[in-house]
Amino acid sequence: MALDIPLHVQYIQNLGQSHDELAYHLTAHLRLNAVYWGLAALCTMGHKEALDREEMIQFVMSCWDEEAGGFGAHPDHDAHLLSTLSAIQILIMQDALDKLDIPRVVSFIVSLQQPSGVFAGDTFGEIDTRFLACGSMALSLLGHLDKMNKEKAVEYIQRCKNFDGGFGSCVGAESHSAQVFVCVAALAILDRLDVVDTDTLSWWLSERQQPSGGLNGRPQKLEDVCYSFWVLSALSILNKLDYIDSDKLTAFILSAQDPEGGGIADRPGNMVDVFHTHFGVAGLSLLGYPNLQDLDPVYCMPADLITRMGLRKGWKALPRRTTTI
Amino acid sequence: MSQQTLFLLADLLERPPASIEILPGGLKEWVSQDSGVCEDFPFVLVDGHLGIPQKVLYKLYTIAVALYKGADKTLVLILSSIILLANPAHQTALNARKILVREGMLEPKRELDLTSLFIGGSKDCAKQSIIWEHRRWIFRYHYKHAGVAGIGSAECPGWAVSEEASLFPMIPLDVMEKECGLVRQACELYPRNYHAWTHYHWITDAAVAIGASCPQANLYVGFLRGEVVQVRHWIDRHVSDYSAIHLLCNFAVLDRAGAAHLAESGSGVLVDELREHALTLVMSYPSHEALWLYLRASLSFSPSDIARGVIDTLRTQQDIPAHAIEKYILGLL
């Protein structure tokens, strides 16, 4: 089975056209993130133009929360760091950063850093290493990384390192592949990868590969396509992608495609969604799958764009193959 | 489906019921011959236990979302409860309820009770980080801070440092015990529940901090010691639950640092008990990755001569694969 790029492009184009569906309302709190996932997947598949640029920018700006100075996930939703990062990523990918009130959004992001170094997601104070990575990424993309307390951020990540080499969502929390990605990506942005116990962590990440070829997020959990990105991105940043059986993982991701309607699911036979479609395609890109564009594993954005911005770190993906075999 | 049904559900949740359950399917599956005329139709209320057909809930969700924009605070209180039951990750609805708590329109205790009902009755609620964080926010709002710096320190990895410890809310012991019970309930409903176990760590971290700053320190240490026993028993019954194992190993770190003496024997060292526990479980269930990681962690906290002794023991066992010893343990030495 090969990656059916035209079908997946069509699947993403069709998303969000049925505003009356229950699923549309149930996912409103993730809408801006979903637009980012769709656009990033299209960029990786070489079809950025498949969604209307002006319409997308207009939607992003409609999510601006004037009171907070950040973006909510949907018009009339409260600002949050997750959706604010998505908005920044979309505007950069669409070369529309001129629409953004950069001083205000920088001020919003910086205000969320806590005395411990971690970031809160919003003014109500939920903390998570995800938000620390979002804050670091957003400030780095906007050229204002110097506005955050980098030393305290690194200190907090160090405190989240567990005896298995992995990282959790906060101090004391269990290691989790997605949290490993956010911590390793943040450390890469902060130029402090020396904090990582590379051998132990790479071993732990490689143990996520299951007999099916798919990767799980934690010991004895089911494999899931999205971990193709979380695990591979961390290994790519650590230059250890060869710890994974790439052929088996590629086959697993491809087997989770919907051959009729397009899109990729968490596991073969399950319902597809744009989240798994994006992270499945992202994983395939890092594995050197043919006819895909290079993806920067630190920012999860097109590699050529990040390189042009002067933000590329020393990660390595597998060489781009010319054939699927 | 009408707005009247929405208000009926809000009213039923307000009573509150003894428990709730999201029932698969719609009305047809749950209507018996005489239930069509009962006052709680289309919901199922039996001995205080409330059943809500999932399709009904989703229809009410779309109505609630449509009414939400421009609603006054009284209506927001009603609508947000329906929205969150159907979609517990709805950050804006949770924020609105926090504001209502601040403004005195919603009692913190009632909010804790309602979210407790949601967590116990809905898998989706049980696993959401933001729902657990909502409870922590309520605790922080409702109880005063520990204040005096706790015993947590940078020398004890995985636990709060003094500055953080002083910000923990002074939650009474009986409330903490109930909260840990809620976590276990959530972990039965949604197994390997990452955010529930993270919340459990927060509760025990708060107990460490409060124990250090109150005259009844021994009661809090007693509570922690009881939780260590509970988690060990949990692992006996859920041998693939590495989340619980991770927490137990964090207790060993706390014990080793002298922050709290948590060994069941009272005078011993917790890591010695955990190492024996892990070894027994590995020998009984050698195919479980989680148990090998348990043994690996407990050995990493043990003197190397003891770790070597454990490896020698494992090598004499016919049912223990040599490759597993090599993969999980030998790299440590």
- CA closest to A179 among chain B residues: B194
Rounded mean pLDDT of B112-139? 97
Predicted local distance difference test score (pLDDT) of residue B166: 87
Q: What is the mean pLDDT of residues B196-207?
A: 97
The tens digit of pLDDT for each residue in A11-36 reads 999 997 877 678 888 888 999 999 99
| Number of helices and strands in chain B (H, E) | 17, 3
Q: Which chain B residues are Cβ-neighbours of A25 within 8 angstroms?
A: 61-62, 65
**Which residues in B lie closer than 8 A to residue A115 (C-beta atoms)?**
163
Burial class (CB in 10 A: 0-12, 13-18, 19+), B215: exposed
Q: How many CB atoms lie within 10 A of CB B153?
A: 14
Angle (nearest 5°) at CA A121 between A115 and A125: 55
Q: How far apart are the first and last CA of chain A?
A: 11
Q: Is residue B280 part of a domain?
A: yes
Buried-exposed string A72-90: b where 16+ CB fall within 10 A, e elsewhere: bbbeebbbbbbbbbbbbbb
- Check B198 against A172: CB less than 8 A apart: yes
Q: Can you tell me the mean pLDDT for B168-186? A: 96
A49 CA to centre of own chain: 21
Domain covering A5-308 in this structure, CATH number: 1.50.10.20
Helix/strand/coil for A110:
helix
| Region B65-75 average pLDDT | 93
Other C-beta atoms within 10 Å of A192: how many?
17
Whether the Cβ atoms of residue A160 and residue A167 lie closer than 8 Å to each other: yes
| Percent of chain B residues past pLDDT 90, beyond the cut | 75
- CA B167 to chain A, closest CA, distance in angstroms equals 12
Per-residue model confidence (pLDDT) at position B36: 52
Query: pLDDT tens, A142-157?
Result: 999 999 999 999 999 9
User: Least CB-CB distance to A174: which of B58, B129, B243?
Assistant: B243
Q: Which structural domain range is residue B331 located in? A: 270-333
State yes or no: pLDDT of B45 exceeds 90: no
Output the pLDDT for position A21.
76
Bond preceding residue A211 cis, omega within 30 of 0? no
Q: Does B264 or A279 have the greater pLDDT score? A: A279
Q: Say whether pLDDT at B87 is over 90.
A: yes
Tell me what pLDDT residue B149 has: 56
Per-residue pLDDT band at B34 (split at 50, 70, 90): low
How does B63-89 read in b/e, with b if 16+ C-beta sit within 10 Å? bbbebbeeeeeeebbbbbbbbbbbbbb
Cβ of A168 within 8 Å of Cβ of B198? The answer is yes
- The torsion of the CA quartet A187, A188, A189, A191, rounded to 10 degrees, works out to 80
How far is B311 from B320, CA to CA, in rounded Å?
11
pLDDT of residue B30: 63
Structural element, H or E, at residue B45: strand B44-46
A86, β-bridge pairs? none
Among A22, A24, A25, A128, which would you mutate to test the B interface (most chain B Cβ atoms within 10 Å of its Cβ)? A25
Residues B111-116: what's their mean pLDDT? 97
Q: How many CB atoms within 10 Å of residue B170?
A: 16
Which of the four pLDDT bands, split at 50, 70 and 90, describes residue B148? low
Residue B321 within a domain: yes
Query: Please, are residues B251 and B228 in contact by the beta-carbon 8 Å criterion?
Result: yes
List beta partners, residue A295: A302
Determine which of B91, B132, B159, B299 to mutate to test the interface with A (most A C-beta atoms within 10 Å): B91
Separation of alpha carbons B172 and B69, rounded Å? 38
Q: What share of chain A is helix, strand, coil (3-state, %, to 5)?
A: 50, 5, 45
Q: pLDDT at residue A50 above 70?
A: yes
| Residues on chain B touching A168 (C-beta within 8 angstroms) | 198
Test mutation, B92, B129, B248, B288, chain A, max A CBs within 10 A: B92
Is the confidence at residue B154, as pLDDT, over 50? no
- A258 in contact with B at a CB cutoff of 8 Å? no
- pLDDT beyond 80 at B1: no
Q: Which of A239-243, B9-13, B149-153, B159-163 has the lowest mean pLDDT?
A: B149-153
- State residue A266's pLDDT score: 98
Q: Among A111-120, A202-211, B267-276, where is mean pLDDT lowest?
A: B267-276
Average pLDDT, chain B: 91
Size of interface A-B (CB pairs under 8 A): 103
Q: Are A174 and B197 an interchain contact pair (Cβ–Cβ within 8 Å)?
A: yes
Question: How much of chain B, in percent, has pLDDT values that exceed 70?
Answer: 93
Average pLDDT along chain A: 96
Do A126 and B133 make contact, defined as CB atoms within 8 angstroms?
yes
Section B168-196 average pLDDT: 96
Cα–Cα distance between A193 and A133 in angstroms, integer? 14
| pLDDT at residue B37 greater than cutoff 60 | no
- Please state at what angle helix B73-86 crosses helix B108-121, rounded to 10 degrees: 20
Does B3 score more than 50 pLDDT? yes
Q: What's residue A301's pLDDT?
A: 98
Domain chopping of chain A, boundaries: 5-308
Mean pLDDT, residues B28-52: 73
Is A174 in Cβ contact with B194 (below 8 Å)?
yes
Name which of B154, B163, B289 is nearest A219 (Cβ-Cβ): B289
Distance (Å, rounded) from C-alpha B151 to C-alpha B159? Answer: 10
| B293–A164 C-beta distance less than 8 A | yes
B237 residue type, one letter: R
In whole angstroms, give the CA distance from residue A57 to residue A50: 14
The answer to whether the Cβ–Cβ distance between A25 and B297 falls below 8 Å is: no
Mean of pLDDT values over A44-55: 97
Nearest to A302 by CA among A277, A278, A321, A272: A278
How many domains is chain B partitioned into structurally?
Answer: 1
Closest partner residue to A124 among B61, B95, B202, by Cβ? B95
Do the beta carbons of residue B26 and residue B56 sit within 8 Å?
Answer: yes
Question: What average pLDDT does this structure show over A191-200?
Answer: 97
Residue B112: inside a domain: no
* B182 falls within a domain: no
pLDDT, average across residues B76-97: 96
pLDDT tier at B150, thresholds 50, 70, 90 = low
